[in-house]
Amino acid sequence: EACKLNSQEVVEEDKRLKLPPNWEAKKARLEWELKVQEKKKECAARGEDYERVKLLEISAEDAERWERKKKKKNPDLGFSDYAAAQLRQYQRLTRQIKPDLEQYEKLKEQYGEALYPTSDSLLHGTHVPSKDGVDRMVADLEKQIEKREKYSRRRPYNDDADIDYINERNAKFNQKAERFYGKYTAEIKQNLERGTAV
């Protein structure tokens, strides 16, 4: 009998090992989703709003914790590299596009299966964009150019900084010189200001 129980345990352990590593989490998630669906059905049957019922069951501490978590997630990561910036711009522009479904249906009827090109398709150069589409693209490009022209990074001006320049061009030169050689010339500059330079 002990041998029988042992073999059953081995079979069950083998089943558990064959399951994916995140099986427990997936199973818990699916069970939670089923509970949510059941609650939604119950609320709909009683004529109540599910979101309101759900919020009544959540404690204030949990709600606060979730709010803090939401605030931590910053979708705008700023500039990391040019590829990421280009991807963000592409995603922003594609979100703005509103497809013309009527035109799509007409093209689908006109071309049939040829609308979806494959490696054997010879449709290249046969498509002529509509006047509305061209106008939309031109308007979008003009908007991008206008936005780019408006953008300029605000550089803070410090009134208390020492004036060591005679014009704007000289100020830029001095800033560059300070940036590259400031750490080497700091002591000499201090001596000159104190009047103890040899």
- 155-169 core/surface letters (b: 16 or more CB in 10 A; e: else): eeeeeeeeeeeeeee
Say if residue 76's pLDDT is above 70.
Answer: no
Mean pLDDT of the chain: 84
**How confident is the model over 137-186, as pLDDT tens digits?**
899 899 989 988 887 766 677 777 778 889 989 999 999 999 999 999 88
Q: Can you give the pTM of this predicted structure?
A: 0.36
Phi-psi map region of 74: left, alpha, beta (phi>0 left; psi -120 to 50 alpha): beta
Helices (H), 73-167: 82-96, 101-111, 131-150
Q: What tokens were used for 41?
A: 């059905």
Please state, in angstroms and rounded to a whole number, the distance separating the CA atoms of residues 47 and 42.
Answer: 9
pLDDT tens by residue, 23-33: 888 888 889 89
